[in-house]
Amino acid sequence: MACRHGDKWYITGSNAEQQINTLTLFLPWLAGEELPVIYDKEDRTAGIKTATVDNEGRLVIKMQALGGIAITTK
């Protein structure tokens, strides 16, 4: 799910499966941007990392089983 407030985007996702899921998001308006990602680690704790949207607007995210992600633009 994604929503926008002004120029800021909020993007979330969840994995309801019992296995790791790799998701490719298509975000062409954010091509080339580095985004902070809050995600569930393998040990079920939260982590924060930076992910880069490629020049074609793709962002590949790996979600743990029964986990999720939250992304915001800067």
Domain 2-72 maps to which CATH number in 3.30.200.20, 3.50.50.60, 3.30.1330.10, 2.60.40.1180?
Answer: 2.60.40.1180
Distance, in Å, from the CA atom of 58 to the CA atom of 33, rounded to the nearest integer, reads 11
Q: In the numeric block, which tokens belong to residue 30? A: 């954010």
Residue 69, pLDDT score: 97
Give CA 40 to chain center in angstroms. 11
74: pLDDT strictly greater than 90: no
Span 5-56, pLDDT tens digits: 999 999 999 999 999 999 999 999 999 999 999 999 999 999 999 999 999 9
Long-range contacts for 2-9 (Cβ within 8 Å, ≥24 apart)? Answer: 7/73, 8/72, 8/73, 9/71, 9/72, 9/73
Domain ranges of the chain: 2-72
